[in-house]
Amino acid sequence: MIPRDQHVVSRKLISPNALKVISRLNSSGYDAFLVGGGVRDILLGGHPKDFDIATNAHPEQVHALFRNSRLIGRRFKLVHILFGREIIEVATFRGGAPEESKHQQQSDQGMLIRDNVYGTLEDDALRRDFTVNALYYSPRDFAVYDFLGAMDDIRKQNLRLIGAPETRYREDPVRMLRALRFKAKLGFSIEQKAEQAIRDHAELIENVAAARLFDEMVKLFVSGAGTEIFEDLVSFGLFDYLFPAVAYTLQNDQMKSFYRGFIIAGLKNTDTRVKADKPVTPAFLYAVLLWPEVERFWHQHMNEGIPEFPALQQAGQKAIQEQLAFISIPKRFSLMMKEIWEFQIRLKKTRGRSPQQLVQHKRFRAAYDFLLLRELAGQDLDGLGDWWTEFQKKHPAPPPSERHQNDPDNKPKRSRRPRNRKPRN
Ligand code: ATP
Ligand code: MG
C-alpha cells in the first residue's frame, strides 16, 4: 500500500463519474478501485482516455445499483455505466480457478473462452495482463495498491507480463497486440522474455475472432503511434497472420519498397491527424493497407480484358473478401473503402464539368488524400495531385448548405411532421 503522499494520483485527475461510481459502490458496502489505464496514465503524467473500475460486487449487483448501466459480455461479464458519452467500465475481481469449471473454459489451444470466476483483489491483480495495468487506487483511503512491484516498472518504463508469457498469450492472444500498443504509445520496452514469446507464438493470433481483431486493429492504428506499431507487427511476425495477402506482397522485391512507403506514408498521415485531434476513419487506413492487393487484382482483371472501371470494382471486392477471413470490416467501412478506390479512376477526369461535381462529393477529400499518398510514395501520376490541389484553390467547395443534392451526407433533415405517404408493399 502506497500512501497518498508518496504518489501523484489524486481525485482531481479522475473523472467525476468514475468517482461517483466508486463512492456508490463503497457506500453500498463493496470495495471498489480505479484500475488499469486510468491509474497507469496518471502516474505517467498523462490523461487517461477512459476509467476502469474493479470491485468485489458481482455484475448483477453492480447493475442493480445503477439505473444507467447495462450488463455486457459472455466470455467476460462486465457492467457498463453510461453518463452521456462517457462509459465507466466496472469489472468484478477475477480469480484463477484451480480446475476447469463452467465459469472458466479453455479451448484446445489453451485460450480462455470464458472467464467468470471471481476472486479477491490480489487474485484480480494476477489475472491482468501487464504489471503496470494492475495498479489500484482507492479514493476512500487515497492509497495506491501495488501487489506486483508495478511502481518500479512504471519508473523503469518496463512492460512486464504477469505470469508465464506463453501461457498468458495462449489464454488470450490479443495480449500480444496490447503489448505492442503499450510499447509504442507509452514508449516502454517489453521485457525480454515477453517479447521473445510474441516472436515464437505469433501464429496464436489466428485464434482470435475476426470481429474482436477489427476492434483491436482500430485501437492500434488510431493510437497516434500507428507507424511504429505497423513496423513492430511486421518485425514480430504478427502482420503475416493479420494481413497475409498484403504481407506476401510486401515480401516481393519489386513491389515492397513502393508499398511499404505507401503504407507508412498513410500511417504517418493518420498519426499526425490523431496528435492534432483531427478525426480519422478506419476506412481510410484499411483502404491504404489493402491497396497492394487491390492493384494486383486490378491489373490481373485488366489483363483478362475487363475494362478499367469494372476491373477496379471487382478487384476491390475481391481484396475485401480475401481479408474478411482474418479481420472483419463492418459494411459502412468497406463501402467507404470501395468509394476511395473507385475515385482513383474518377479523379483522372479533369475535363468538362466533372471536376466541379467531384469536389463536392462527400468522399472527395479522402480520395484526394489517397491520391496524394500514392504520389508521395513515388507513383508517377503525371502531376494529377497538383492539378487537384490547384483546382480546389480556384474553385473552393461551396458551404455545406449549397452542396450538391446528390450528396447523401447533405440531404436536408427530414421534417418531423408526418407526411402522407403511400403504404409500402
Ligand atoms: P487504454 O484504455 O489506454 O487502452 P487500458 O490498460 O486501460 O488501456 P483497457 O482495454 O481499458 O486497457 O482495459 C482495462 C484493464 O483491464 C487493463 O489495464 C488490464 O488491467 C485489464 N485487461 C484488459 N484487457 C486485458 C486482457 N486481454 N488480458 C488481461 N487483462 C486485460
Ligand atoms: Mg482503459
CATH number at residue 259: 1.10.3090.10
Least confident of 312-321, 322-331, 406-415: 406-415
Ligand nearest to the CA of 78: 1
Q: What is the pLDDT of residue 375?
A: 95
Give dist(CA 225, CA 173) in Å, integer.
21
Give dist(CA 272, CA 253) in Å, integer.
29
User: Looking at the domain assignment, is residue 296 inside a domain?
Assistant: yes
Number of domains within the chain: 2
Residue 16 belongs to domain with CATH number: 3.30.460.10
One domain for residues 140 and 41: yes
Q: Measuring from atom 18 of ligand 1, which residue has the nearest CA? A: 36
Q: What average pLDDT does this structure show over 205-216? A: 96
One domain for residues 299 and 366: yes
One domain for residues 245 and 381: yes
One domain for residues 258 and 128: no
One domain for residues 300 and 399: yes
Least confident of 2-16, 175-189, 341-355, 392-406: 392-406
User: Looking at the domain assignment, is residue 88 inside a domain?
Assistant: yes
Q: What is the pLDDT of residue 348?
A: 95
Active site residue 50: yes
**Percent of the chain with pLDDT strictly greater than 90:** 83
One domain for residues 138 and 214: no
One domain for residues 131 and 67: yes
Q: If you count DSSP H runs as helices and E runs as strands, how many of each does the chain have, helices first?
A: 19, 11
Give dist(CA 322, CA 293) in Å, integer.
9
Least confident of 48-62, 91-105, 194-208, 306-320: 91-105
Q: What single-letter DSSP state applies at residue 416?
A: S
One domain for residues 214 and 359: yes
Protein residues within 5 Å, CB atom, of ion ligand 2: 36-37, 50, 52
User: Looking at the domain assignment, is residue 1 inside a domain?
Assistant: yes
One domain for residues 12 and 155: yes
Tens of pLDDT, residue by residue over 124-151, are: 999 999 999 999 999 999 999 999 999 9
Residue range of the domain that includes 373: 209-404
Active site residue 31: no
One domain for residues 35 and 104: yes
User: Looking at the domain assignment, is residue 366 inside a domain?
Assistant: yes
Q: Helix, strand, or coil here: 334?
A: helix
Model confidence band, residue 419 (pLDDT cutoffs 50, 70, 90) = very low
Looking up cell 483522372 gives 348
User: Looking at the domain assignment, is residue 148 inside a domain?
Assistant: yes
User: Looking at the domain assignment, is residue 194 inside a domain?
Assistant: no
User: Looking at the domain assignment, is residue 147 inside a domain?
Assistant: yes
One domain for residues 229 and 353: yes
Q: Helix, strand, or coil here: 306?
A: coil
Distance 35 CA to ligand 2 centre (A): 8
**Percent of the chain with pLDDT strictly greater than 70:** 92
Active site residue 52: yes
Residues 231, 245 contacting (CB under 8 angstroms): no
Distance 73 CA to ligand 1 centre (A): 15
Q: Is 174 in the pocket of ligand 1 (CB under 6 A)?
A: yes
One domain for residues 283 and 349: yes
Q: Against a cut of 0.85, is the pTM above it?
A: yes
Q: Measuring from atom 13 of ligand 1, which residue has the nearest CA? A: 36
Q: Is 115 in the pocket of ligand 1 (CB under 6 A)?
A: no
Other CB atoms within 10 Å distance of the CB of residue 386? 12
Cell numbers found for residue 271:
498519426
Looking up cell 457492467 gives 79
User: Looking at the domain assignment, is residue 238 inside a domain?
Assistant: yes
Tell which residue, 346, 349, 368, 357, has the closest CA to residue 404.
357
Q: Helix, strand, or coil here: 127?
A: helix
Q: What average pLDDT does this structure show over 103-123? A: 84
Distance 89 CA to ligand 2 centre (A): 8
Q: Is 123 in the pocket of ligand 1 (CB under 6 A)?
A: no
Q: What is the pLDDT of residue 158?
A: 98
Angle at 279 between CA 334 and CA 285, to 5 degrees: 40
For residue 159, pLDDT beyond 70: yes
Q: Helix, strand, or coil here: 401?
A: helix
Q: What average pLDDT does this structure show over 318-339? A: 97
